[in-house]
Amino acid sequence: MVNRFVLNSISYHGSGAIENIVTEAIARGFKKAFVCSDPDLIKFHVTKKVTDLLDKNKLAYEIYSKIKPNPTVENVQTGVAAFKKSGADYIIAIGGGSSIDTAKGIGIVVNNPEFADICSLEGVAPTKHEGVFTIAVPTTAGTAAETTINYVITDTKKERKMVCVDVHDIPTIAIIDPDMMSSMPKGLTAATGMDALTHAIEGYITKGAWELSDMFHITAIKMIKDSLPGAVANTTEGRGGMALGQYIAGMGFSNVGLGIVHSMAHPLGAVYDTPHGIANAIILPTVMEYNAPCTGEKYRDIAKAMGVIGTEKMSQAEYRKAAIDAVKKLQADVCIQPNLIGIVKEKDIPKLSEAAFADACRPGNPRDTSVAEIAELYRALLK
């Protein structure tokens, strides 16, 4: 069996890392940046931290901000037209998964115009050319969109999220600067942090997992568990630990896949516009319980990484329960609600379950599932 690993060509980490945007742009002779960033980041002057650097160094740019929290086909198509009109020759994506995923879609279509309908990019698309050169600057510690070969776009007409997987979409450069994440409110920090934990846990137990990905995921689980409470409290150490932990998780799951936590979360974003991190955070413990019989001894490792003492002496049932309980405790500690009450409507469960089963993340789940079983998992989260 041959395993493939795809990572950014270059990544910069640490406080002040955004300074390297200027260095890289000048060294590569770029003339104008197409800056993708969402309206809130512009409103609260987070994007300005980067554009001030561009202004200071007389580097031209144009801002594109027609981006929704769950980016749509239209957001990408409008962005493609704006990019072509702008005369830009590279992209700087600033934000969470919304901005970076939109930028990925724009970059792919600009250089692969035969996929202009966007919907044809769903799944593993046979693109021939690298996307537009992109520098990704995450402002949330969760999605790891800056280092993955995945992006998610919502088809509003069909009320479904499309998972697109393409080695041509990965940003060439990732800038992981915790200072860019310092203005995240507590709720968003908690939700995106639990999203990162979901990436690490699902990536660790997915069918495609192997030794190299396991190394990244188990490290990420420990870092996220140790750092997330501090990040929510906005400590320097917590922000720094989460910035790196979520990136490490992304390095792993991007290459081996995920599971039905993500499959079930995606329809919630498409139908109810539920923030992706919150959906994952709520669903994770319930799906962990469901998947436990098909995970071998991996929950022992997860429990240990989550800080559980004495896992070596525990029975299989004990360490599996301990791993799930540790995730539930972290979920409660950062004030994530434990169920989908107030989010999911019973009448929508058949539609949600069908969409989750059809989702590109579902085949990687360690336990084979069905539409009926996914429906029961949704119902369990309404009690």
The DSSP string of 267-326 is HHHHHH---HHHHHHHHHHHHHHHHGGGSTTHHHHHHHHTT-S-GGG--HHHHHHHHHHH
Q: Are residues 173 and 320 in the same domain?
A: no
Q: Specify if 91 maps to a domain.
A: yes
Domain boundary among 181, 199, 222: 181
Structural domain includes residue 158: yes
What is the model's pLDDT at position 351? Answer: 96
Domain span at 246: 186-380
- State the pLDDT at residue 183: 83
| In a shared domain, residues 135 and 247 | no
pTM comes to 0.94
Angle ∠(378,382,383) on CA atoms, nearest 5: 125
Q: Identity (one letter) of the amino acid at 100?
A: I
User: Largest Cα–Cα distance in the chain?
Assistant: 64
Q: Are residues 76 and 40 in the same domain?
A: yes
| Same domain for 281 and 174 | no
Cβ within 8 Å of residue 121, ≥6 positions away: 105, 108, 109, 115, 127, 153, 162, 164, 166
**Order of all β-strands in the sheet with 123-124:** 123-124, 160-165, 150-155
Are 248 and 164 found together in one domain? no
CA distances in angstroms from 129 to 31, 168, 248, 267, listed in the order given: 21, 7, 27, 30
Residues 338 and 226 in one domain: yes
Q: Are residues 155 and 81 in the same domain?
A: yes
So what's the pLDDT on residue 191?
A: 93
Judgement on whether residues 208 and 355 belong to the same structural domain of the protein: yes
Do residues 281 and 301 make contact, with C-beta atoms less than 8 angstroms apart? no
Indicate whether 316 and 368 sit together in one domain.
yes
Match 């990408």 to its residue by tokens. 76
**Which value, in Å, is the radius of gyration of the alpha carbons in the chain?**
20
Query: Is residue 370, in this structure, part of any structural domain at all?
Result: yes
Pairing relationship of beta strands 90-95 and 134-138 according to DSSP bridges? parallel
Measured over the CA atoms of residue 97, residue 102, residue 107 and residue 113, the dihedral's sign is positive
Element (H, E) at 39: helix 39-43
137-165 as b/e, with b when 16 or more CB fall inside 10 Å?
bbbbbbbbbbbbbbbbbbbeeeebbbbbb
How many domains are there within the chain?
A: 2
Q: Which pLDDT belongs to residue 76?
A: 97
- pLDDT of amino acid 184: 85
Residues comprising the chain, all counted:
383
Q: What is the dihedral of CA 187, 256, 287, 123, to 10 degrees?
A: 80
Is 71 domain-assigned? yes
Residue with tokens 């942090």: 193
* Residue spans of alpha helices (H) in 128-235: 186-205, 211-232
- State how far Cα 49 lies from the chain centre: 22
Query: Which residue among 116, 149, 181 closes a domain?
Result: 181
User: Same domain for 371 and 283?
Assistant: yes
> In CATH, what number is assigned to the domain containing residue 273?
1.20.1090.10
Asked, for residue 130, whether it belongs to a domain, the answer is yes
Angle at 24 between CA 70 and CA 152, to 5 degrees: 15
* One pLDDT digit (tens) per residue for the chain, 383 residues: 799 999 999 999 999 999 999 999 999 999 999 999 999 999 999 999 999 999 999 999 999 999 998 899 999 999 999 999 999 999 999 999 999 999 999 999 999 999 999 999 999 999 999 999 999 999 999 899 999 999 999 999 888 889 999 999 999 999 999 999 988 889 989 999 999 999 999 999 999 999 999 999 999 999 999 999 999 999 999 999 999 999 999 999 999 999 999 999 999 999 999 989 999 999 999 999 999 999 999 999 999 999 999 999 999 999 999 999 999 999 999 999 999 999 999 999 999 999 999 999 999 999 999 999 999 999 999 99
pLDDT for position 48: 97
Torsional sign, CA 110, 65, 183, 331: negative
Residue 185, class by beta-carbon neighbours within 10 Å (0-12 exposed, 13-18 middle, 19+ buried)? exposed
pLDDT at 70: 87
For residues 326 and 285, the answer to whether their CB atoms sit within 8 Å is no
CATH classification of the domain holding 86: 3.40.50.1970
Are residues 289 and 177 located together in one domain of the fold? no
Closest CA to 231 of 330, 329, 326: 330
Of 133, 163, 181, the last residue of a domain is 181
The answer to whether 63 and 32 are in contact (CB under 8 A) is: no
For residue 21, is it within any domain? yes
Q: Is residue 5 part of a domain?
A: no
What is the predicted pLDDT for the residue at 325? 97
- Looking at the structure, do residues 239 and 300 belong to the same domain, yes or no? yes
Q: Is residue 2 part of a domain?
A: no
